[in-house]
Amino acid sequence: MRYLGIDYGSKRTGLAISDPEGRLAVLKGSISLSSQPEVIDRIKQIIEEDQVESVVVGLPINMSGEPTEMTEHVNRFIEKLRNHVSVPVQTIDERLTTEMAKKLLQGVKNEDRDAVAAQIMLQNFLDEHSSH
């Protein structure tokens, strides 16, 4: 099963995609579009082009497990996304993925960090859901 991982942000949305077997997450880049409808249209296009069967969106929560202001923003995005795509949209706790990406990519452009954060988040999801 092919998954699309999304690290949604107000400025950029990082993307990662799995291999067809759903074992390995690779970078897919980032979307720097300003409006949610534009971001959703681009995601719909990727789902169709890459034959994505499921979407995984990182849910930002603070270290104590409490929702943040950004959690509500992402939840609204997820709700809109679910209304516009025909594949399942799941969530995963994305605590620390952006921080991990920053540490891995010190001095690298933010666009790449967003995609790497999406890749880390999607790989975590794939690892948790793999049938070893």
Report the distance separating Cα 1 and Cα 94, nearest Å.
21
Expressed as residue numbers, the domain containing 32 is 3-129
Query: What is the pLDDT tens value at each position of the chain, 132 positions in all?
Result: 999 999 998 889 999 999 999 999 999 999 987 789 999 999 999 999 999 999 999 998 877 878 888 899 999 999 999 999 999 999 988 766 666 666 666 665 555 778 888 898 999 899 988 754
Which sign does the torsion angle of CA 73, 79, 80, 86 carry? positive
SS3 assignment, position 103: helix
pTM metric for this prediction: 0.85
Task: CATH number of the domain at 75, please.
Answer: 3.30.420.140
Report the distance separating Cα 106 and Cα 98, nearest Å.
12
Give how many domains the chain has, as a whole number.
1
Which sign does the torsion angle of CA 74, 119, 52, 46 carry? positive
